[in-house]
Structure 1
């Protein structure tokens, strides 16, 4: 009987194991697609071609960002996205326009070379020229450990974007002047660098826990503004990164495992 019992158990295991293995979905390994220099892959579009009403303020194409320089790969200040992401964003825009608001994007598709630029900048601990505005309470040596900088970004997959809400009519804001005195990104809206965005409690790319979308310290109108953006984007099919009120990814993104590296032109 003991030998028969062992044989039966082995036979059952032989039947069960293939079924269990088949029920586990295969996870595609991340791929960086560089392609021909300057080539925009099929499926990517300029946001302005899909919805020209959405405001664009592409921060990494200029010097007003946490690095203090134009980031590698941003040759033009334009938003590129996969077509499904651009069309979903346009749906969110239509709802907000009816309420007297417009969306404004700060960043969209991000080349892998731009992410590499971020990594190189973060390793240069002597370059802290933008610390007073973007990471005043975080030591630069902790940017990797605290998750503010990483070697890969969902933006490089083409369906992630950084976005805010602006009340209509859109009022122009002054340009950033390199070298000007900096104010912490979590300072009151009237004090920090001017932005036509509604008051979200912090500025864009504020490396601080106050940027967490549902941080309990953010209340009143600031919290309502974050929820206005969150509701509009979620209805259109996007999901929010809880650590950044501005960061959204299309849930059904077409390239979930591919990181692109063509420049923004």
Structure 2
């Protein structure tokens, strides 16, 4: 068998056929040229994804044993409002933190609420604004918030006492569709007006400032959260506790 090289990527392939006739072997060589065409590769720009930074604050939360809620329920949406200025304080108090953490059992119960919501309407999902809030952050919020103490305590618990957010046993959230469009609750997250108070809903409904749709959306959120063992507080439609403060003290340590 022989082979010849032809320029411009032209190769000759020789096929050897052995034919046996009357105990004699003859060789038949068939030459079939194969042309290999040049391939042009275009340089494609791959977008760079910024690395997620785990800073000291988040590492403290992880070391305390809390879990990222999306590691338990990946379809829950998050919007970490205190890592931005889109909150009632108009301050970024979390820095790089862009995940929501809760105590493992609380995160699992939140997952139960998510499943219950999906069983009612598969197009809806929980959207979480805040979970654990280290006491050092709570102290900062307490110090910079300029309002009388009797008003301040309605929105930020005195860090000396420790709040359920400090334990990772409370969550702030709403309901959204799959695209992240939130249901209208008649008052936004962190709205400090009394129209956001669940205890005043009937009065605002009677006045026409809250609609039946607003109330129905709030009641849906309360129903869904109750399925996971959470309950609402009287002054914030978005805030839900999983345990009482006394119970949390026996189960968890405050995240400092």
Same fold (TM over 0.5): yes
Is 2:121 the counterpart of 1:86? no
Is 2:70 the counterpart of 1:48? yes
Q: Structure 1 stretches of 5 or more lacking a match?
A: 1-36, 124-139, 172-195
- Whether the 8 Å CA contact 2:116–2:227 is kept in 1: the answer is no
Runs of 4+ in 1 over 4 A off after TM superposition: 252-255
Partner of 2:126: 103
Is 2:168 the counterpart of 1:155? no
Report the structure, 1 or 2, having the larger strand content: 2
Is 2:123 the counterpart of 1:114? no
Partner of 2:179: 170
CA distance in 1: counterparts of 2:165 and 2:61, whole angstroms? 17
- Whether the 8 Å CA contact 1:122–1:143 is kept in 2: the answer is no
Change (3 A) 1:54 1:143: farther
Which sits farther off after the overlay, 49-58 or 37-46?
37-46
RMSD, matched Cα:
2.7
Change (3 A) 1:88 1:226: same
Aligned-pair distance for 1:244? 0.7
Correspondence for 2:82 among 30, 52, 60: 60
Which sits farther off after the overlay, 214-223 or 203-212?
214-223
**What secondary structure sits across from 1:116 in the alignment?**
helix
Which structure has more RCO (C-alpha within 8 Å, separation ≥ 6)? 1
- Within-5 A mapping of 1:196-211: 196-211=181-196
**What secondary structure sits across from 2:145 in the alignment?**
helix
CA distance in 1: counterparts of 2:247 and 2:68, whole angstroms? 17
- Whether the 8 Å CA contact 2:145–2:152 is kept in 1: the answer is no
Change (3 A) 1:203 1:39: closer
Q: Structure 2 stretches of 5 or more lacking a match?
A: 1-58, 205-209
**What secondary structure sits across from 2:240 in the alignment?**
strand
Change (3 A) 1:158 1:210: same
Aligned-pair distance for 1:74? 4.5
CA distance in 1: counterparts of 2:85 and 2:76, whole angstroms? 22
Aligned-pair distance for 1:47? 0.7
Change (3 A) 1:56 1:145: closer
- Whether the 8 Å CA contact 2:154–2:235 is kept in 1: the answer is no
Aligned-pair distance for 1:219? 3.5
Aligned-pair distance for 1:256? 1.1
Partner of 2:230: 238
**What secondary structure sits across from 1:166 in the alignment?**
strand
- Within-5 A mapping of 1:241-256: 241-251=233-243, 256=248
CA distance in 1: counterparts of 2:240 and 2:190, whole angstroms? 13
Aligned-pair distance for 1:170? 1.4
